[in-house]
Structure 1
Amino acid sequence: MQTLGQFIVERRKELGLAGREVVAEVRNSDGKPISIPFLVDLEHDRRKPSDEVLEQLAKVLKVDSDVLYFLAGRFPADLSATTVNSAEELAAGWKAFRREVKRRKKP
């Protein structure tokens, strides 16, 4: 399994995007674009992006933001602990995830 940083690098290259093109489209909470050194740190897994930056990266990289949250080892805000009402609901979600992964692995 790839790390978040490895995925960002690979996807950026697949799309033919230079680092400068990515940072021009992704803004920090202060409204300023992220820096090249910040992107390099993300790509080398030395920093963790905020939810806001993850969401924008997903748009620039043309992937579902859930992929980036998964690779970052985090849950999206709409799936926080307060949105899961019971242990059964949580278990059902993970079982559905496992079924889908197994289904896709079958030849």
Structure 2
Amino acid sequence: MNFWNQDSLSLHQSTEQMKKQISLSSLKSQKINKDTRTALISDEDENIFQTSLTECTCSDFQRDHLPCQHMYHLANKLKLFVIRKNKRSNNLIADFSSGYAGNWFFCY
């Protein structure tokens, strides 16, 4: 299956897939082969995974057969998929009507 074409866009918007996209900052590319679109990618524990755009040696992909964080990392590095970060909201969630954030632990 081609996870990176227009027909697959809705797959990447599920909550589970979005979680995988958010966790990319802890990954490092050890070696990327742009010709074969494969890579060796390590995580924060220095585990190394063989990754392509269609499969990965990690347990997440082996279990679900859906893009894992390593595949998202590779697709992003190859500029085939743009990771969209959630924008921060400008709306305050604390009630400041009494002059401070009432019922919050971080109040002065």
Structure number with higher relative contact order (C-alpha < 8 Å, ≥ 6 residues apart): 1
- Structure 1 and Structure 2 fold alike (TM over 0.5): no
TM-score normalised over the length of structure 2: 0.31
Q: Between Structure 1 and Structure 2, which shows a larger proportion of strand residues?
A: 2
TM-score for both structures, normalised by structure 1: 0.31
Point out the structure with max Rg over C-alpha: 2
